Amino acid sequence: MIFAVWIPLLMPLLAVPAARRLAESLPPRAAAWLLTGCAVALAGCTTAALGLLLTAGALRLPPVAALGHLSLPLLGGDPVVSVPAAGAAAGLLGAAALAVVHRARRHHTELRTARLATDAHHTSGDLCVLPHAAPDAYALPGRPGRVVVTAGMLRALPPDEREALFAHERAHLAGRHHLFLLTAALAAVCHPLLRSLRAPLAYALERWADETAASRVGDRRVTARAIGRAALAARPAAADAHRPGTVLAATTGPVPRRVAALLAPERPAAPPPRTAVHGRRLIAAAALLACLGLSAASALDAATDLHETVEVAQGAGSLRFASAHVFGFPAVSPAAGRVRGASPRPVFGFPAVTPAAGQVRCASPRPVFGFPAVTPAAGQVRCAGLWVR
């Protein structure tokens, strides 16, 4: 565990660049799912690693060890390192939990405030027109979702481009794209390197909505003109005054890049031949899968190692050498050769023994290693809960 537990904390250094590189070569919808899934997986492994560090350090504290009947010498590790690491992990987990709660509450508050503001204006179906002169348009999620557009934006666009803009915002609502951004934002709280996934994710979501709008309108050039004209007309300073910060809008992101993608020729239906670009995509995919697999495997290995260590420490801690009464019988102090646990190796300095039938003195109600179960009498309990593997 001492080495494996640190791998999930360091793996985003390699996984995040690989995910960004791979997302650039994928269709928008696939890229959005890829980036969100990577953020969730890496955040989960990071949280698990911090939790394991916290648990390992907490178990070395005498009150916690006594509560779990653990033997401190068998827990392993250096308390000079594990206890401070546990304190740091506890601080990071607490800060992350508070940040997640704060981020989720702010998202809910902004959406509720925006919906209350739109309720005061006339709506036609899912379309709500705000009487603001500043051109702006965005998708407001909720039940039902709404396409919010200002009077200034309606005046800035001709009718065909308005329909393309509305189709873009409806694509955000239908795909529930705000949940992608919210998930990535919550995941970034767990590890600071995951914040760099937000920009490519927002771009992938906008491109997803662009392609959906172009498909519904049936004209990619009209969609490109609508996005370009809306972005030129919009004034960010004025729009931010009434637009929630957690919603998606057609005028955000790298608009020139999006317009160029819409005006580019469509991809052929047949799969392209193997090229250098295809090779780089395979390399990025392999690197990303290796990073995610190694991060998850390391967290699982660290958890398994900690579990086995606790089992050994609990087994040793359950030996009652002149300590407490067991099953109502007086405690005893076994000498060498009197330990009757079926173990092939010495235990606490006593030589290993091979007990015959009737000599197993473990307080167990079932047979052990083929020997019949026994009911020890007074003075015969020799293992008092010894864990025999």
| pLDDT tens-digit series, residues 313-339 | 666 544 433 344 444 444 444 433 334
- Under the banding of pLDDT at 50, 70 and 90, the label for residue 306 is confident
List b or e across 302-334, with b for residues whose CB sees 16 or more CB atoms inside 10 angstroms: bbebbeebbebbbbbbbbbeeeeebeeeeebeb
* Per-residue pLDDT at 146 exceeds 70: yes
In the predicted model, what is the mean pLDDT of residues 98-108? 91
Give the residue-averaged pLDDT of 127-131. Answer: 86
163-214: pLDDT as tens digits: 999 999 999 999 999 999 999 999 999 999 999 999 999 999 999 999 999 9
What pLDDT sits at residue 166? 92
Beta-carbon neighbour count of residue 285 at 10 Å? Answer: 17
> Around Cβ 86, how many Cβ atoms within 10 Å?
22
φ, ψ of residue 123 to 5 degrees: the values are: -120, 145
Q: Is the pLDDT of residue 155 over 80?
A: yes
Using pLDDT thresholds of 50, 70 and 90, give the confidence band for residue 117.
Answer: confident
**pLDDT score for 180:** 94
- Among the residue ranges 182-186, 203-207, 239-243, 248-252, the one predicted with the least confidence is 239-243
Residue 315 confidence (pLDDT): 65
Confidence of residue 38 (pLDDT cuts 50, 70, 90): very high
Q: Is the pLDDT score of 66 beyond 90?
A: no
pTM: 0.73
Mean pLDDT computed over 18-36: 93
For 21, 176, 298, the CA distances from 46, given in Å and listed in that order, are 22, 26, 11
Residues 37-51, mean pLDDT to the nearest whole number: 94
The residue among 202 and 62 whose pLDDT is bigger is 202
**Residue holding tokens 């172009």?**
214
**Which range among 207-221, 259-273, 296-310, 359-373 shows the weakest confidence by mean pLDDT?**
359-373
DSSP labels, 370-387 = TBPP----TT--SSSS--
Taking alpha carbons only, the member of 313, 359, 315 closest to residue 338 is 359
Any idea what DSSP says for residue 358? T
pLDDT, residue 233, reads 84
Q: What is the mean pLDDT of residues 109-132?
A: 81
As a whole number of angstroms, the distance between CA 217 and CA 65 comes to 67
Phi, then psi, of 130 in degrees rounded to 5? -95, 140
Q: What is the mean pLDDT of the chain?
A: 76
The residue ranking higher by pLDDT, 336 or 146, is 146
Beta-bridge partners for 129: 149
Lowest mean pLDDT among 45-54, 94-103, 114-123, 152-161: 114-123
Q: What is the spatial distance between Cα 76 and Cα 82, in angstroms, rounded to a whole number?
A: 10
Kindly tell me if the per-residue pLDDT of 374 is higher than 70. no
The model's confidence at residue 357, banded by pLDDT at 50, 70 and 90, is very low
Average pLDDT value for residue range 118-147: 83
Could you tell me the strand order of the sheet in which 137-140 lies? 123-124, 127-130, 146-150, 137-140
Q: What average pLDDT score do residues 258-272 get?
A: 72
The label of the residue with tokens 């051109």 reads 135
The CA distance from 385 to 232, in Å, is: 76
